[in-house]
Amino acid sequence: MENGFDVVVVDNLSNSKKEVLNRIGNITGKLPEFERIDLCDAAALHNFFLSPKAAGIQAVIHFAAFKNVGESVKNPLKYYQNNLFSLINLLSEMKNNNIDKLVFSSSCSVYGNPSKIPVTENAPLQPAQSPYGNTKKMSEEIIRDFALSESLKTISLRYFNPIGAHPSCHIGEFPSEFMDNIVPALTKAARHAGTRHASSLLCVYGNDYNTPDGTCIRDYIDITDLSRAHLTALNRLASGEIKNTAPFEVYNLGTGKGVSVLEIIHAFERVTGQKINYKIVERRRGDVEAVYADPSLANKVLGWKVKKNLDKMIRTAWAWEKAMETQRIKSI
């Protein structure tokens, strides 16, 4: 929106809140259009594309998916049904309405437990470690096949681990459902430190991995760096740089630096001055041992590079958590 795009948000609000639209308005000066639809409802999605709100849509960024790794292990059908059916319905409507540009929200989980790190886009895709990861892998295959048959121009952005918040503290990570991603868990543990609140204790899932300190290694990327990559991808699609010979492109979005779970805990303590109460528990099914990006392709072809280091990401995440607590107290 800040770069001149007209935006229509389509969301079923299963893991978000409509008030976020007002927060976006506070940042950009105007509200995006909004339609509450479950993409798995093919009829509702079809009717949306016939509505005035959908008139003139030229490109789609597809974010809608369930993304809790642990939950996907416990309830795989929920993930296969939602993440795949929503994509298939969307592609069908894009075809019906002659919309030929798609940016897809993918994941480093498609690499499984990679045989070599840092991971490049040419790395062989290992078996997915979770149903969530498998849905991203299968989604890319569906999009690739569809793109070849329908002249669809697509870019799949393989996120590593997005963290942080918008520097304004108007928008950040605030899921409606329980999520056990490390940074939200960290900020909640810090906020509830010294209480009996369930979130005051941070669980570290395993310390017996083949890594320097025994905990899993990830590549953390700031959400604002990630959002810039989507803008770059949209502009690349609009420019026509993707030829028919390569209708499906993939790019890693990461910093290229691996950080262990214990390292990010200690970094959080150092940056915020907050002591984290944590304990080591059993490994969590679906977790990959170590993965971090080789982002050189995105650097070269998209001209995109990260701007924020881990300390800055932690600061915005902690500022967001404190802002949410202040607003919660005011509303009581």
pLDDT per position as a tens digit, 151-173: 899 999 999 999 999 999 999 98
The total of other beta-carbon atoms located within 10 Å of residue 156's CB is 24
Q: In the prediction, which pLDDT does 256 show?
A: 95
As a whole number, mean pLDDT of residues 49-74 equals: 94
Phi, psi at 11, each rounded to 5°:
-155, 145
Rounded Cα–Cα distance for residues 49 and 4 (Å): 22
Q: Which of 39, 30, 32, 33 is nearest to 12 (CA)?
A: 39
As a whole number, mean pLDDT of residues 68-87 equals: 95
Q: In the prediction, which pLDDT does 289 show?
A: 93
Percent of the chain exceeding pLDDT 70 equals: 96
As a whole number, mean pLDDT of residues 250-273 equals: 97
Q: In the prediction, which pLDDT does 331 show?
A: 45
Q: Tell me the sheet residues that pair with 278.
A: 202
Return the ∠ at Cα 97 (arms to 96 and 99), rounded to 5°. 115
Alpha-carbon distances of 156 from 160, 229, 263, rounded to whole Å: 13, 11, 29
Contact 218, 160 (CB under 8 A): yes
Task: List, in order of start, the domains of the chain with CATH numbers.
Answer: 8-331 (3.40.50.720)
Contact 11, 64 (CB under 8 A): yes
Residues contacting residue 55 through CB under 8 Å, at least 6 positions apart: none
Q: What is the H or E stretch that residue 86 is in?
A: helix 76-96
Q: Which residue has the higher pLDDT, 70 or 77?
A: 77
**Whether residue 12 has pLDDT greater than 70:** yes
The total of other beta-carbon atoms located within 10 Å of residue 312's CB is 16
As a whole number, mean pLDDT of residues 292-310 equals: 96
Q: Which of 101, 6, 107, 95 is nearest to 42 (CA)?
A: 95
pLDDT per position as a tens digit, 185-201: 999 999 999 898 888 99
pLDDT-based confidence at 177, cuts 50/70/90?
A: low
Q: In the prediction, which pLDDT does 246 show?
A: 76
As a whole number, mean pLDDT of residues 260-282 equals: 96
pLDDT per position as a tens digit, 41-61: 999 999 999 999 999 999 999
| Catalytic positions, written as ranges | 132
Rounded to 5, what percent of the chain is helix, strand, coil? 45, 15, 40
The total of other beta-carbon atoms located within 10 Å of residue 192's CB is 16
What rounded mean pLDDT belongs to the chain? Answer: 93
Q: In the prediction, which pLDDT does 244 show?
A: 53
pTM of the model as a whole: 0.93
Q: In the prediction, which pLDDT does 332 show?
A: 37
Tokens of 218: 């990830």
Q: In the prediction, which pLDDT does 245 show?
A: 60
Tokens of 198: 């369930």
Dihedral sign (CA 61, 67, 72, 78): negative
Q: In the prediction, which pLDDT does 190 show?
A: 93
pLDDT-based confidence at 315, cuts 50/70/90?
A: very high
Angle formed by the axes of helices 76-96 and 42-50, to 10°?
A: 30
Residues contacting residue 237 through CB under 8 Å, at least 6 positions apart: 59, 101, 102, 103, 153, 155
Q: By CB neighbour count within 10 A (0-12 exposed, 13-18 middle, 19+ buried), where does 90 fall?
A: buried
As a whole number, mean pLDDT of residues 63-71 equals: 92
pLDDT per position as a tens digit, 201-246: 999 999 999 999 999 999 999 999 999 999 999 999 998 877 656 7
**Whether residue 330 has pLDDT greater than 70:** no
Q: Which of 55, 13, 57, 19 is nearest to 36 (CA)?
A: 13
The label of the residue with tokens 């149903």 reads 131
Percent of the chain exceeding pLDDT 90 equals: 80
Q: In the prediction, which pLDDT does 33 show?
A: 96
